[in-house]
Chain A
Amino acid sequence: DAKTTQPPSMDCAEGRAANLPCNHSTISGNEYVYWYRQIHSQGPQYIIHGLKNNETNEMASLIITEDRKSSTLILPHATLRDTAVYYCIVRTGNQFYFGTGTSLTVIP
C-alpha cells in the first residue's frame, strides 16, 4: 500500500507556481521520495526524487522537511500542459506503490 497522503485535487493559475504537498510520516531513513505525473492515460513520467536534501532539475523542485515526514513538489511556472495527476511515492525496495495522487488543473 502507498505510504503517502496527498490532497485529491488542486488548481493553479497558469504562470504561477504550483506547490503540491505530500505527507509520508512513516518514511524510513533509507527510503527515497519520488514524484511522477500521469497526463491523461499516458505512462507515468518521472519528475524528480530525493532522500534528504532539496533537489532541483529542469522540471521541478523538491523540498523535503528536515524530519522527512513531508515534502512539496514545486512547479515554478505552471503551464496548461502541466495539468496531470501527480504521484508522490515512497520507494520501498525495488517497487513503486502508486497511490491515487493529486489531480492538478492549471487554469488559464
Chain B
Amino acid sequence: EPEVTQTPSHQVTQMGQEVILRCVPISNHLYFYWYRQILGQKVEFLVSFYNNEISEKSEIFDDQFSVERPDGSNFTLKIRSTKLEDSAMYFCASSAIRDPNSPLHFGNGTRLTVT
C-alpha cells in the first residue's frame, strides 16, 4: 500500500541552525500538509500546499518556516533559525484531492530535537 515517507526519522540540531525536513508524499496525491506535535500535546496543523503554493497556514507557521516542492516527488519543511521550542515531531501528510471526503495520509514523522 502506498505510504508517505519522511526523512530523517530523527534530527538533532543546535539552536539557531537551519533544518530541512523531507517528505515524499503518495505519488498521485496533489495536496500536502505539515503538522507538528510537541511531546505530550496535540497534533497541530502548520500548513497546507497545493499547486506550488501555500493554501492555508496556521499562526504557528511564521516567517521562520517555509515549504517547498523542489521536484516532482519531494515536499520539504525548512526552519530557518531553530529555537528550543521547535523541538517536536513533525508529520507530513498528503491527500489525493481537496475534498472533505478524501482522507489525509500521514507519514511516521521526523523527531526534531533542538539543543
Q: How large is the interface on A (under 10, 10 to 19, 20 to 34, 35 or more residues)?
A: 20 to 34
Interface of B, helix, strand, loop or mixed by DSSP: strand
The reply to whether A32 and B105 form a contact with Cβ atoms under 8 Å apart is no
A21 interface contact, C-beta 8 A: no
Residue tally, chain B, CB below 8 Å to A: 25
Tell me whether A46 and B45 are in contact (CB under 8 A).
Answer: no
Residue of B nearest to A30 (CB): B100
| Interface contact tally, CB-CB below 8 A | 53
CB distance from B77 to the nearest CB of A (A): 14
Residues B106 and A91 in contact, CB atoms below 8 Å apart: no
The secondary structure that dominates the A interface is loop
Q: Which residues in B have their C-beta under 8 angstroms from that of A41? A: 37, 89, 109, 111
Q: Which residue of B lies closest to A43 (CB)?
A: B106
Besides the known contacts A46-B104, A95-B48, A95-B56, 15 further A-B residue pairs in the complex with CB atoms under 8 A apart: A36-B106, A41-B37, A41-B109, A41-B111, A43-B4, A43-B109, A45-B106, A46-B105, A51-B101, A87-B43, A91-B100, A94-B48, A94-B98, A96-B45, A98-B35
- 4 closest Cβ pairs, A-B complex: A43-B106, A98-B43, A46-B103, A43-B108
- B: residues with CB less than 8 A from A are 4, 31, 35, 37, 42-45, 48, 55-56, 89, 91, 93, 98, 100-101, 103-109, 111
